[in-house]
Chain A
Amino acid sequence: MSVVTGNSYLKNLLHGQSQLATSPLEKLNRLRANAVDRVSALRMPNIHDEEWRFTDISPLTKMSFQPIRIASPLQVSDVEHFYLSEAVTRLVFVDGVYAPHLSTQLSDTSEDSSVVVSNLSAATSENLATIEPYLGHHTEFQDNVFAALNTTFLHEGALIIVPRNVSVEMPVHLLFIATQKEVASYPRCLLISGSGSAVTVLEDYVALQEEAYVTNTVAEIVLADNAIVNHIRIQRDSNQAFHIANCAVSLARESRYQSVSVALGARISRYNLNVLLADEGAECTADGLALISNRQLADTHTCIDHTKPHCTSRQLHKCIVDDAAHAVFNGKIMVRPDAQLTDSSQSNRNLLLTSKARVDTKPQLEIFADDVKCAHGATVGQLDNEEIFYLKSRGLSEVTARNLLTYAFGAEIIDRIPIASLKFQLEQTVLERTQRS
């Protein structure tokens, strides 16, 4: 049923794909060819597909998008307000195209030169050998048309390789800047963290103009034994834009993945996060905040898959929904038969600020092991009257009390971001968007 003849929309999106330069990495060429095959076999999802029930992407399919032909001539002064003081290493992509003059590569700084932070298409032959087993391996695109589309254009992207036992002190900033309307960009990230390594990566999507464009991203994150990865993802695309993202994370023994994802922008956004706890003692924290208004739609689908014993997962996903906006959360926790002594908790809390705001939440717990500790729950509602009374009993006005509690609802997630200047910026954003007079 997924075969649709005359799928001209998808065919159109592939325009120009065949002109991509052949990569020295044979696997990459094969991946692209496979992906082209899949795109021609698949169709765009619609609300009759279970995974897209609440997220109607028909506005996307009514518009035409192409990868850019001519890059915007941006200067540092145009974009430096997006830079973060803590992140000395920075890869900047403008409308999906790597911008070396805006980037600061790790080799330019004094950090350990064995660490790779570079454009994927500039990978050395040694790096190619390292990435070969991982690239395209973790994000499944057989049945995922957006991941397949991204893979057809697999060319440039952010490549981070942290060797064994190396700790990268400063966060790495991956900055994706959209500047033009009707552009489709296909950002790609691959992070390979060696055993015992540690790194913090910020994936940051921003816009210079309020235009309609599509960002379709794929990120793959691989943690070897005892590795620690902090992954912060900020989606602050234009309010006209479409943002579709797939992220796949794989954790080996005793490794730890900690993520905070924040959705602020886009007309329609969809984030699929798949975390595979592939070996014993792995730990994952996946927190999220969607702060949306007007007619925005933010959809987060997560799957945390416990496959081996003694793994831990923690998830707190929050949505603050204003005006006639619509938030969707679908969070699956899978506990496989072998995953005894799993310790998992998941909570989805939603704050609706108006009577027209809407949320659809579906926490799913699938447990096939018998000795596990799993807790999950979801709440939807307005501010708590007991909390308001507590603040008023301290002399705060009704409005101040409500503002403070709404702010706090979002700030609880922002507080978990380990980059001080970014945290401060986002606290201001939450403050601006939650205050009423």
Chain B
Amino acid sequence: MIYQESKTLLEVRGLCATVNGIEILKGINLTVKSGEVHAIMGTNGSGKSTFAKVLAGHTAYEITGGTVVFEGKNLLDLAPEERARAGIFLGFQYPIEIPGVANNQFLRLAYNTAQVQRNKDELDPLEFDDLVREKMKLLKMNPDFLDRSVNEDFSGGEKKRNEILQMALLDPRLAILDETDSGLDIDAVRIVANGINQLAKKDNATILITHYQRMLNYIVPDYVHVMESGRIVKTGGKELALDLESHGYDWVSVEQPATVGT
């Protein structure tokens, strides 16, 4: 939701990035204020996922230009774990499986790292168990998932719920959710979207990266951005997603080929 006088959380200016020498991001501008929900849409290969990974600090990408300021800090100076501790959360499109590590062990480790960062007490396994079970109810997750290895043999939908569970535990300032709706059936989309909505507050913000408008039936964005060839080429309100759904991505390119967002 857009609030008057809310603080700027994220300020991206002219961000360029390459992978293996190939330019993927070609000058992205984006401003996210606390309380807001932004949707970034675009075709496959438009650079959406790269943008998400660059914000989280993936080392496969080289930053070749531009600035990213997050709550007054130069984000590009921080290692991925420092960004996470500063309040950035990336919900992965393809969450990694870690056989041999129980999900509850992993979740507690991540949670306690965040607690230390906030100068709060770490939780022991019993205390944590109470907390995580409460959070799992939000996503209608079966407690069995705690004893299983992280994401191992989880279905696509289960993996995505596990991502949002991590988000609920870590309570980030800025959540970047990369194709969280992909691979989900319609019930799962509703449950996951409902979880995300409940976690949205006045002092945090969400960037939803999505190919389809479907998720936006449940999570109403304040801004919709369209990415193409490594740039944001159009920005509008929630109705832009509906236009895209009915006209297709070609429509943006034809109508406003040279526009650069915000």
Chain A interface residues (CB < 8 Å from chain B): 385-387, 389-390, 392-398, 400-401, 404-405, 407-412, 414-415
Q: Which of A385, A386, A395, A410 gathers most chain B CB within 10 Å?
A: A395
Chain B interface residues (CB < 8 Å from chain A): 56-60, 79-81, 83-85, 89-90, 92, 95-96, 98-101, 106, 109-110, 113-114, 117, 149, 166, 170
Chain B min CB distance to A99 (Å):
36
Chain A min CB distance to B80 (Å):
4
In the complex, what residues of B have CB within 8 A of residue A409's CB? 100
Top-10 shortest CB links A-B: A408-B100, A411-B100, A412-B100, A395-B84, A392-B80, A394-B110, A390-B96, A395-B113, A412-B99, A408-B101
**A390: nearest chain-B partner, CB-CB:** B96
CA distance A54 to B45 in the complex (A): 47
Asked if residues A389 and B80 are in contact (CB atoms below 8 Å), the reply is yes
**A430: nearest chain-B partner, CB-CB:** B100
Chain B min CB distance to A377 (Å):
16
A387-B98, A408-B101, A411-B101 are contacts. A396–B109 as well, Cβ < 8 Å? yes
**B169: nearest chain-A partner, CB-CB:** A394
Asked if residues A404 and B101 are in contact (CB atoms below 8 Å), the reply is yes
A385-B59, A400-B109, A404-B109 are contacts. A392–B79 as well, Cβ < 8 Å? yes
**B80: nearest chain-A partner, CB-CB:** A392
CA distance A387 to B92 in the complex (A): 12
In the complex, what residues of A have CB within 8 A of residue B56's CB? 389, 393
Asked if residues A394 and B79 are in contact (CB atoms below 8 Å), the reply is no
Chain B min CB distance to A398 (Å):
7
CA distance A392 to B79 in the complex (A): 9
Asked if residues A394 and B166 are in contact (CB atoms below 8 Å), the reply is yes
**B92: nearest chain-A partner, CB-CB:** A390
In the complex, what residues of B have CB within 8 A of residue A397's CB? 81
- Besides A398-B81, A410-B100, 20 other A-B contacts (C-beta < 8 A): A385-B60, A386-B96, A390-B92, A390-B96, A392-B79, A392-B80, A393-B90, A394-B106, A395-B81, A395-B110, A395-B117, A396-B110, A397-B81, A398-B79, A404-B106, A405-B98, A407-B100, A409-B100, A412-B149, A414-B100
Asked if residues A390 and B59 are in contact (CB atoms below 8 Å), the reply is no
CA distance A387 to B96 in the complex (A): 6
CA distance A410 to B83 in the complex (A): 29
CA distance A418 to B148 in the complex (A): 16
A387-B96, A389-B59, A404-B109 are contacts. A395–B85 as well, Cβ < 8 Å? yes
CA distance A404 to B99 in the complex (A): 11
In the complex, what residues of B have CB within 8 A of residue A412's CB? 99-100, 149
In the complex, what residues of B have CB within 8 A of residue A411's CB? 100-101
CA distance A238 to B224 in the complex (A): 65
Q: Which of B58, B100, B113 gathers most chain A CB within 10 Å?
A: B100
Q: Supply 10 A–B pairs (Cβ within 8 Å), ascending by A.
A: A389-B59, A392-B57, A393-B56, A393-B92, A395-B114, A395-B170, A408-B98, A408-B100, A412-B100, A415-B149
Chain B min CB distance to A119 (Å):
38
Chain B min CB distance to A87 (Å):
24
**A411: nearest chain-B partner, CB-CB:** B100
In the complex, what residues of B have CB within 8 A of residue A385's CB? 59-60
In the complex, what residues of A have CB within 8 A of residue B59's CB? 385, 389
In the complex, what residues of A have CB within 8 A of residue B81's CB? 392-393, 395-398, 401
CA distance A131 to B259 in the complex (A): 85
A385-B59, A400-B109, A404-B109 are contacts. A392–B100 as well, Cβ < 8 Å? no
In the complex, what residues of B have CB within 8 A of residue A414's CB? 100
CA distance A247 to B96 in the complex (A): 37
CA distance A385 to B98 in the complex (A): 13
Chain B min CB distance to A397 (Å):
5
A385-B59, A397-B81, A411-B101 are contacts. A390–B95 as well, Cβ < 8 Å? yes
**B105: nearest chain-A partner, CB-CB:** A404
Chain B min CB distance to A64 (Å):
42
In the complex, what residues of A have CB within 8 A of residue B110's CB? 394-396
**A412: nearest chain-B partner, CB-CB:** B100
CA distance A179 to B98 in the complex (A): 39
In the complex, what residues of A have CB within 8 A of residue B79's CB? 392, 398
A385-B59, A389-B59, A390-B92 are contacts. A396–B113 as well, Cβ < 8 Å? yes
Chain B min CB distance to A50 (Å):
33
In the complex, what residues of A have CB within 8 A of residue B170's CB? 394-395
CA distance A385 to B58 in the complex (A): 10
**B101: nearest chain-A partner, CB-CB:** A408
CA distance A386 to B97 in the complex (A): 10
Q: Which of B56, B59, B80 gathers most chain A CB within 10 Å?
A: B80
Chain B min CB distance to A98 (Å):
37
Chain B min CB distance to A108 (Å):
36
- A394's partner among B84, B100, B149 (CB-CB below 8 A) is B84
In the complex, what residues of A have CB within 8 A of residue B96's CB? 386-387, 390
- A393's partner among B57, B60, B109, B117 (CB-CB below 8 A) is B57
In the complex, what residues of A have CB within 8 A of residue B90's CB? 393
CA distance A410 to B101 in the complex (A): 10
Chain A min CB distance to B86 (Å):
9
Asked if residues B99 and A394 are in contact (CB atoms below 8 Å), the reply is no
**A318: nearest chain-B partner, CB-CB:** B100
In the complex, what residues of B have CB within 8 A of residue A398's CB? 79, 81
Chain A min CB distance to B206 (Å):
16
